[in-house]
Amino acid sequence: MKQLVALMVGLVLGSSANGQGTILWDEAVNGEFSHLFSSATPLAALQMGANTLIGTVENEPHGGIWITYEDFFTLRVQEGFSIRAIHWQVNKPEIQTWIGDTSFGNHISYSQSSASGELLSEWSISEITSGEYGMYIANHDAQNFISVANYRLDFVVETIPEPASLWLLSASLAGMQIRRWLRKPTPAIH
């Protein structure tokens, strides 16, 4: 009985973790991301599993100012899916991450100095649901030389359990419990 319940719970809740990873964009292979928000690089729709972006952002000194070359891209989370984690690796400090609408006018969240780790928790977001989003990465590591930051983003996408599936699981568990209760032998009276 416990094995059957564990199997059912595992199938419903664990079904979202069976997707394989894919590399959506690698600047070494696909070319640079756009440096302009008005022509952000459009990415393919995120698939279930890990969706990886690999890139670099630069900050170049020019006289008394620095020129920052941000990476702008748009991403789409399909209906029935959500981003449950964004694993972030970067080799420099002072890297800004931003997510918001595709016009880059309204932010959902951002971080001025993102360290390697989990971006959703750094942004105080539990998940990103279906929709279209704009995102950019900027290097604000101002040095007397060109500062190049290498980064990797892994968007972990999972399915959203349908209410009908959860209802079916609950009804099945309740039915098994009632059946077990009805099958209990009554104590013999002597």
- CA 53 centroid distance within chain: 11
What is the largest distance, in Å, between two alpha-carbon atoms of the chain? 101
95-147 pLDDT, tens digit each: 999 999 999 999 999 999 878 899 999 999 999 999 999 999 999 999 999 99
3-class SS string, 90-108? ECCCCEEEEEECCCCCCEE
97 near 88, Cβ under 8 Å? yes
Q: Is pLDDT of 26 > 60? A: yes
pLDDT, one tens digit per residue, over 139-173 is 999 999 999 999 999 999 999 876 665 566 677 77
Task: Kindly calculate the radius of gyration of the chain based on its CA atoms and give it in whole angstroms.
Answer: 23
| Domains recognised in the chain with CATH numbers | 25-161 (2.60.120.380)
pLDDT(31) > 70: yes
pTM, rounded to two decimals: 0.75
Non-local (6+) Cβ contacts of 69 within 8 A are 35, 57, 58, 59, 60, 139
**Nearest to residue 123, comparing CAs of 159, 68, 152, 83?**
83
